[in-house]
A and B are shown apart, each in its own frame.
Chain A
Amino acid sequence: MTGYIALGYGDLALGSLLILTNVGLSLALQLGVHWRFLVAAVRMVVQLALMGLVLSTLFSLVSPLWTSLAAVAMVAFAGREAAARQDRRLAGLWAYGLGSSSMLMAAALVTVFALTTALRPHPWYDPRYAIPLLGMILGNTMTGVALGLNGLTSGLASRRAAVEARLMLGASRREALAPVVRQSLRNALMPIVNTMSATGVVALPGMMTGQILGGVAPEEAVKYQILILFLIAGGTGIGAVAAVLGGAFRLTDHRHRLRLDRLAK
């Protein structure tokens, strides 16, 4: 194993010059994004610094209670983010609840699967493994859930006449919604398909690069990365299917009506 090069604060300060370069460019070219750029960079630094603190505390505690609380908090943020990415949201608690519960189920299932089969740390909920794993799975599941739900709500709103035409001819809600549901799920799964296709050729994933920079042998890092991509693919699929089918259920009723009135105005 080769050595690991620790970074000093001076190194980070040097790196931040690139942010200042961008700010300078925005001012020079009148892009008008210099202020937002600065705020985003500062947010990123503060958020990551806090995350570092939280993670060191969690890692030293190895407590099932605190680990699961951290996991729930992560899912809650992901749920808010997924809801924010919708052009047309479900009305009421559903906007937030459906995405969050789908992600919670999918990410928990896949994370626990990995922790109890492939990785098997002691104890199995060891936050050093559980939290980073959940973070990676959740991030991608969130994209799938957000794309799937957005495809469903915007698809149903724009194809309302087509869906109702089938209902009027005696189709069940399942039959009538099938084309929109299929299209939304395709949208949801495309990013992970593209990621898997491009990984290793066009892109080196951040996790793998991180491990290699940390001194892990490339072939070991690659094995981790492959497992992670399998987990991400599984989580995205389960999460997107749960969210889209749940959304299709919510946007119809027992009398097989299309209920677009259940979208937020």
Chain B
Amino acid sequence: MSGRLDLIGLHRPGLEPVSFSLARGECVAVRGPSGAGKTLLLRAIADLDPNDGEVRLNGQRREAMSAPAWRRKVGYLPAEPGWWAESVGEHFADWAAARPQVQALGLPDEARDWPMSRPSTGERQRLALVRALLVDPLVLLLDEPTAALDRGAATAVEQLIGARVEGGLSVLWVTHDEAQAARVARRFLHMEGGRSWVAA
């Protein structure tokens, strides 16, 4: 299962029309200064804010499916993910399925029983990544997924996502880190002042 994502004139206030395609199993890095509209773009693709223009997945228009179905196929991991329950484990329908990835990202199995007050910002980011991957999306929109991580943990995240990309996952990866952008992607979407352009 893999997905090709097409944006055709996608726009909203603060975001100039974006036309852009993400191929199956491709990872594109999104770069630009703070306030350039990177988060607005990811939220618009995930259909979390009102937006106009066309978004297609494998040729199928977003509006042809329900919004929850769309978001299960096009996942979005925000820079500061949200948590609704008391403990870490309650956020995962199937911890057994999560365990290998949790451990691959350097977190212990006991993390399941942690109260949500315990994990650090970086640990939360990694847990949220696992949570998003478990839905098995075709496209994943990542907003600074390693911003709060040390070098080792960031490498583990890059490897985990890299393996999924090889398996066909398409990724739009927002990062401030130029070295990281060069490691994970071959194409770049530059953004500034709400406008965007593609560069190789």
Interface residues of A (CB under 8 A from B): 159-172, 179, 253-259
Contact = CB atoms under 8 A, between A and B. Distances in A.
B81 A161 contact: yes
B150 to A, nearest CB: 24
A169 B48 contact: no
A164 B48 contact: yes
A102 to B, nearest CB: 26
A161 B82 contact: yes
Interface residues of B, number: 24
Given A253-B50, A257-B47, A257-B49, A168 B71 contact: yes
B131 interface: yes
A168 B48 contact: yes
Contacts of A163: 82, 84
B166 interface: no
Contacts of B72: 169-170
A144 B132 CA distance: 38
A165 B81 contact: yes
A99 B132 CA distance: 38
Looking at A159, A169, A258, the one whose CB has the most chain B CB atoms below 10 A away is: A169
The 6 closest A-B pairs by CB, nearest first: A161-B82, A165-B82, A170-B72, A162-B84, A256-B67, A162-B82
A166 to B, nearest CB: 6
A257 B84 contact: no
Looking at B67, B78, B80, B131, the one whose CB has the most chain A CB atoms below 10 A away is: B67
B29 interface: no
Contacts of B82: 159-166
27 contacts: A159-B84, A161-B81, A161-B82, A162-B83, A163-B82, A164-B48, A164-B78, A165-B78, A165-B82, A165-B83, A165-B128, A167-B68, A168-B71, A168-B75, A168-B77, A169-B71, A169-B72, A169-B75, A169-B132, A169-B135, A170-B69, A170-B72, A253-B50, A255-B47, A255-B67, A257-B47, A258-B48
A168 B84 contact: no
Looking at A163, A166, A170, A259, the one whose CB has the most chain B CB atoms below 10 A away is: A170
B46 interface: yes
Contacts of A160: 82
B68 A170 contact: yes
Looking at B47, B66, B68, B81, the one whose CB has the most chain A CB atoms below 10 A away is: B68
B182 to A, nearest CB: 28
A171 B50 CA distance: 18
Looking at A161, A166, A168, the one whose CB has the most chain B CB atoms below 10 A away is: A168
B76 interface: yes
A168 B80 contact: no
A179 B76 CA distance: 22
A170 B135 contact: yes
B92 to A, nearest CB: 10
Contacts of B75: 168-169
Nearest to B84: A162
B133 to A, nearest CB: 11
Nearest to A253: B50
Contacts of A167: 48, 67-68, 71
A171 B80 contact: no
Contacts of A170: 68-69, 71-72, 135
A169 B84 contact: no
Nearest to B81: A165
A164 B76 CA distance: 10
Contacts of A253: 50
Interface string B55-76: 0000000000011110110011
Nearest to B66: A256
Contact of A257 (B67, B76, B77, B80): B67
A257 B131 contact: no
A167 B81 CA distance: 12
